[in-house]
Amino acid sequence: MKLFTVPQIRAWDAYTIAHEPISSLQLMERASTAFVKWFCERFDDRCTINVVCGMGNNGGDGLVIGRLLLQKCYNVHIFVVKHSAGGSADFEANLARLHPMTTVHWITESTDIPHFAQQSLVIDALLGSGLSRPTQGFLAEVIQKINDSSATIIAVDIASGLLADTPNALSDIIIKPDYTVSFQCPKLAFVQPQSAEYVGEWQVVDIGLSAAYAEATATPYFFSTASFINDFKISNRRKKYAHKGSFGHALLIGGSYGKIGAIVLSSKACLRSGVGLLTVQTPRCGYDILQTSLPEAMALPDWHWMVNTTVPNIDGYSAVGIGPGLGKDPLTLQLLRELLPKLTQPTVFDADALNLLSEHRELLTLLPPNSILTPHPKEFQRLLGRPWQDDFDKLSLLQTFAQQHQVIVCLKGAHTAVALPNGTLYFNSTGNPGMATGGSGDVLTGIITGLLTQGIPPHQAAIFGVYQHGAAGDRAAQKCTQPGLIASDIINEMGW
Ligand SMILES: NC(=O)C1=CN([C@@H]2O[C@H](COP(=O)(O)OP(=O)(O)OC[C@H]3O[C@@H](n4cnc5c(N)ncnc54)[C@H](O)[C@@H]3O)[C@@H](O)[C@H]2O)[C@@H](O)CC1
Ligand SMILES: [K+]
């Protein structure tokens, strides 16, 4: 799914109205109907609902939502904050439609702001994607009062006060919703850690905007949903006469004294991703551990007891993964230095392989094109050699880094962002906070290396691997709960 900016969404809206038999008023009705459908599936008519509207089209949505819920016999109170002299045309039209049904409570000064009771629901339709300046005055007071209440808050399209495509100032006063129900496509802010408290649990509802516009309009941002991933047509079917040679031979390099578990986890995940053969190079101290815990893998013990030092002969391997548990010993650095120019197969760099690259930046120029780097934010910051100002700055640095080095970077975290060498960014839709546990990243390295080994092109291996890693984590969390989840559970739930 493509992610669009606010100006693009506005143009999408206008395109749909111009090319399809639908008016903007009908589109508002459709959007609000989709919201109400979502709402009624979760909340029954015993709750008290306060719909708090502004005077733009977001407020117009609020008025329609209020009307539709009244028609369904919900207990609805509608408030309008008078923040401008007149409302948008669709707001005014829907205000007129409401009049016979109920009384609208106008908020024109601070004393009009109601108390939002603990058990009640607040539907936030104050401001949407038309936000053009920070919220101030009694509009900001209303937001503050809603946030201070213990009511359940549901934002229509986007939390009032939240900027969709650019960072907010720290001082901005923004709704902190429990849920956001957004129209047609997620906003960029929804996948940024710094906006988390202004988004809550979010869901996109389809309002039938023109498919032709979405197809024809370019964007560097994508959201990897199940249907998007299915388009890669990565099959789990195996041909009847297939043999282990049909699925490639992976080489994983990692582990050091005290961190052999990391490479074992990677290796297990790599095998479960479907590779034909796997060879694992570890220091000698890892030999027994690996052979015992994973008899399916072949072991290539280093002469060194504690760390990896020997450059393996990489001929014959379909793909390489290096980093989990690797350590940063000077002899390991030497290994990396000698290995890099020899790599002709697709390679994943993770963990200490990335840290070594950060500390010896001249090595970055030796990365083969389309190499896959899987840093967490701290590792990425080390690779950059500088911090970022905010999440949007981080995204642009990520795009630039991938373009500059012609590599694929999977920046791990909630909604892991995969940056391609052409500057496009794919935000992942799967995964959960239970996966914030030691070893999760090692599993990802194993999965992506495994996919590369089977001949999946690097950009697909990265996006698909990240998606499947998260999906396995979601299945694991169902069984073990999020706090109870450990990295091995992700491996146990793998399969696509
Ligand atoms: N695809 C679409 O674009 C659709 C949009 N719809 C709704 O329309 C919304 C966008 O509507 P609008 O463009 O009218 O924008 P808003 O409803 O966000 O409001 C914009 C109005 O508020 C004023 N304003 C902006 N920031 C303010 C602030 N900080 N304090 C006080 N006033 C402020 C503006 O000057 C403008 O008059 C969407 O979020 C969505 O809810 C839906 O009705 C249907 C489809
Ligand atoms: K809103």
Q: Ligand 1: does its nearest atom lie under 6 Å from the Cβ of 286?
A: no
**pLDDT attached to residue 298:** 98
Query: Under a CB-based contact definition with an 8 Å cutoff, are residues 405 and 367 in contact?
Result: yes
pLDDT tens digits, one per residue of 128-156: 999 999 999 999 999 999 999 999 999 99
**pLDDT attached to residue 239:** 87
The share of the chain scoring above pLDDT 70, in percent, equals 100
Nearest to 36 by CA among 207, 208, 211: 207
CA distances (Å), 322 to each of 100, 277, 348, 438, in order?
69, 16, 6, 17
Q: Which pTM does this prediction carry?
A: 0.95
**pLDDT attached to residue 72:** 96
- Does residue 388 have a pLDDT over 90? yes
Question: Residue of the nearest CA to atom 41 in ligand 1?
Answer: 58
Is 419 exposed, middle or buried, given 0-12, 13-18 or 19+ CB atoms closer than 10 A?
A: buried
φ, ψ for residue 132 (rounded to 5)?
-125, -5
Q: Kindly report, as residue ranges, where domains of CATH 3.40.1190.20 are found in the chain.
A: 230-492
Q: How far apart are CA 461 and CA 263, in angstroms?
A: 20
The mean per-residue pLDDT over the stretch 258-270 comes to: 98
- Would you place residue 82 in the very low, low, confident or very high pLDDT band (cuts 50, 70, 90)? very high
Q: Which architecture characterizes domain 6-215 according to CATH?
A: 3-Layer(aba) Sandwich (3.40)
Q: Ligand 1: does its nearest atom lie under 6 Å from the Cβ of 132?
A: yes
- Does residue 305 have a pLDDT over 90? yes
The mean per-residue pLDDT over the stretch 308-323 comes to: 97
- Does residue 235 have a pLDDT over 90? no
User: How far apart are the CA of 12 and the centre of ligand 1, in A?
Assistant: 15
Neighbours of 393 (CB within 10 A): 12
CA distances (Å), 275 to each of 208, 271, 369, in order?
41, 6, 23
pLDDT tens digits, one per residue of 183-222: 999 999 999 999 999 999 999 999 999 999 999 999 999 9
Query: Under a CB-based contact definition with an 8 Å cutoff, are residues 182 and 205 in contact?
Result: yes
State the ligand closest to the CA atom of 128: 1
**pLDDT attached to residue 118:** 87
Nearest to 447 by CA among 325, 348, 377: 348
| Structural element, H or E, at residue 81 | strand 75-81
**pLDDT attached to residue 99:** 87
User: How far apart are the CA of 59 and the centre of ligand 1, in A?
Assistant: 7
- Would you place residue 360 in the very low, low, confident or very high pLDDT band (cuts 50, 70, 90)? very high
CATH of region 230-492, choose from 3.40.50.700, 3.40.1190.20, 3.30.379.10, 3.30.420.240: 3.40.1190.20
The share of the chain scoring above pLDDT 90, in percent, equals 94
The mean per-residue pLDDT over the stretch 245-250 comes to: 92
> Rounded to 5 degrees, what angle do the CA atoms 117, 118, 123 make?
70
User: How far apart are the CA of 473 and the centre of ligand 2, in A?
Assistant: 32
φ, ψ for residue 211 (rounded to 5)?
-70, -35
**pLDDT attached to residue 236:** 83
User: How far apart are the CA of 159 and the centre of ligand 2, in A?
Assistant: 4
Pocket test for ligand 1, best of 4, 63, 129, 206 (most atoms within 8 A of CB): 129
61 is in an annotated binding site: yes
The mean per-residue pLDDT over the stretch 400-414 comes to: 98
Q: Kindly report, as residue ranges, where domains of CATH 3.40.50.10260 are found in the chain.
A: 6-215
CA distances (Å), 117 to each of 9, 44, 121, 151, 153, in order?
35, 17, 8, 6, 12
The mean per-residue pLDDT over the stretch 488-492 comes to: 98
- Does residue 311 have a pLDDT over 90? yes
Q: What's the DSSP call for residue 411?
A: E
Beta bridge mates, 202? 180
**pLDDT attached to residue 348:** 98
Question: Residue of the nearest CA to atom 43 in ligand 1?
Answer: 28
Q: How far apart are CA 321 and CA 206, in angstroms?
A: 40
Query: Under a CB-based contact definition with an 8 Å cutoff, are residues 451 and 441 in contact?
Result: no
Cα dihedral 96/102/103/106 (nearest 10): -60
